[in-house]
Amino acid sequence: MGTLNNRKVAVIGCGFVGAASAFAIMESGLFSEMVLIDMNTDKAEGEALDISHGLPFSKPMQIYAGDYKDISDAAVIVVTAGAGQKPGETRLDLVKKNVSIFKSIIPQISEVNKDAIMLIVANPVDILTYTAWKLSGYPENRVFGSGTTLDTARLKYLLGQHLDVDSRSVHAFIVGEHGDSEIAVWSSANVSGIPINRFCEMRGHFHHEEAMQRIAEDVKNSAYEIINKKGATYYGIAMSVRRILEAIIRDEKTILPISSIQHDNHGVSGIAFSMPAIVGKNGVEATVPISLSPDEEKALKESASTLQKVIDDVF
């Protein structure tokens, strides 16, 4: 294994999510080389050509369809390959199909590259992060999932709309499973340091319980709604992937709610789920012990036990 090229990224799986992520990565200007891999080689080649034709309007880079031997020096490998949810399916329904796809993909990655950072995006992302960690032999800090980065963006967006304020000024997290048992952490939510309920009142909103429940449900059901309407979700996750890669490549040490293997985090150990973590050039540098209300802590433990049951079933 040679040295890594910090300007090189690989995207495995070029369906809706992989292609949109590749486009967002091209637009980011973070990399000078991008390899696209898909079992459907025509799809990977078509996406590489199509995205390359935007380069005269962006920044120069090499984008090509390749094979696993082409990723031996990639600094970051993004794995989006796997079946997506059909209308009515939950993310956990995908587990058997996608674990078996990972059993074919992950060993092919670690055979050629043991030093990259592996970002898991395919669903159920927490279970597949655990699977990738087990199968790859990578250390925990270098294999993690996009987790609730997208759900947190959805929460910030909806709160921004509700409060008529820039969503980037909203500080709030979704934690736990990227799925039906996820938790909105209202106890520490704030808008630029002002506790969320006080900011709501400043903006003329007083029915806090009702609004919190409605917004958390809307976040949770976003993917179902989009899948019912257009068949798949991909732009929001593509922007989340771009943001996570930016934190890694620029060594930003940004706090993002990615999914990683936990160690006694609110009593949860040995599974992957999302908690805020510092993300930089070494991947996950540390998890941030976010404080939770007793109800949030109880919900987090339930979320963890849902995931643990799936892991016990699969492994």
Ligand X SMILES: NC(=O)c1ccc[n+]([C@@H]2O[C@H](COP(=O)([O-])OP(=O)(O)OC[C@H]3O[C@@H](n4cnc5c(N)ncnc54)[C@H](O)[C@@H]3O)[C@@H](O)[C@H]2O)c1
Q: Which residues are catalytic?
A: 178
- Per-residue CA distances from 305 to 203, 214, 248 (Å): 38, 25, 30
- Of positions 10, 84, 283, 299, contacts ligand X by CB under 6 A: 84
- Nearer Cβ to ligand X (116/211): 116
Q: Which of 105, 132, 191, 304 is close enough to bind ligand X by CB under 6 A?
A: 105
Sign of the C-alpha dihedral, residues 225, 227, 229, 230? Answer: positive
CB of 61 to ligand X, least distance (A): 22
Is residue 36 a contact point for ligand X (CB under 6 A)?
Answer: no
Q: Which of 80, 152, 262, 303 binds ligand X (CB under 6 A)?
A: 80
Give the separation between CA 292 and CA 214, rounded to whole angstroms: 20
- β-pairing verdict for 272-274 and 259-261: antiparallel
| Of residues 220, 165, 212, the one with CA closest to residue 193 | 165
Query: C-beta of 274: minimal distance to ligand X in Å?
Result: 10
What is the contact mask toward ligand X in residues 187 to 226, using x (rule: CB under 6 A)? Answer: ----------------------------------------
What does the alpha-carbon distance between residue 279 and residue 284 come to, in Å, rounded to a whole number? 5
125 binds ligand X (CB under 6 A): yes
According to CB under 6 A, which one of 43, 114, 171, 281 is a site residue for ligand X?
A: 43
Question: How much helix, strand and coil, in percent to the nearest 5, is found in the chain?
Answer: 50, 20, 30
Sign of CA dihedral 179, 160, 240, 88: positive
260 binds ligand X (CB under 6 A): no
**Distances, alpha carbon 241 to alpha carbons 19, 22, 86, 128, 305, in Å:** 12, 9, 22, 16, 27
Q: Where are the beta strands (DSSP E) in 121-188?
A: 143-145, 170-171, 174-175, 183-184
77 versus 237: smaller Cβ distance to ligand X:
237
One of 22, 38, 144, 266 touching ligand X (CB under 6 A): 38
State yes or no: cis peptide before 276, omega within 30 of 0: no
Write down the least CB distance from residue 169 to ligand X, Å: 23
Query: Which part of the chain contacts ligand X (CB under 6 A), choosing from 96-104, 156-164, 247-255, 296-304?
Result: 96-104
Q: What burial letters (b/e) apply to 242-279, b meaning 16+ CB within 10 Å? A: bbbbbbbbeeeebbbbbbbbbeebbebeebbbbbbbbb
Chosen residue from 74, 76, 150, 183 binding ligand X by CB under 6 A: 150
Using CB under 6 A, pick the residue from 72, 85, 129, 152 that binds ligand X: 85
In angstroms, the CA 174 to CA 214 distance is: 14
Least distance in Å: CB of 127 to ligand X? 11
Angle, vertex CA 117, rays to CA 132 and CA 35, nearest 5: 95
Q: Is 244 in the site for ligand X (CB under 6 A)?
A: no
Closer Cβ to ligand X, 121 or 292, answer by number: 121
- Cβ-proximal residue to ligand X, closest one: 15
Binding residues for ligand X restricted to 13-32, rule: CB under 6 A: 13-18
Q: Is 257 in the site for ligand X (CB under 6 A)?
A: no
Residue among 104 and 305 whose Cβ is closer to ligand X: 104
CB 245 within 8 A of CB 226: no
Binding site residues, ligand X, CB under 6 A:
12-18, 38-40, 43, 80-85, 94, 98, 101, 104-105, 121-123, 125, 146, 150, 178, 232-233, 237
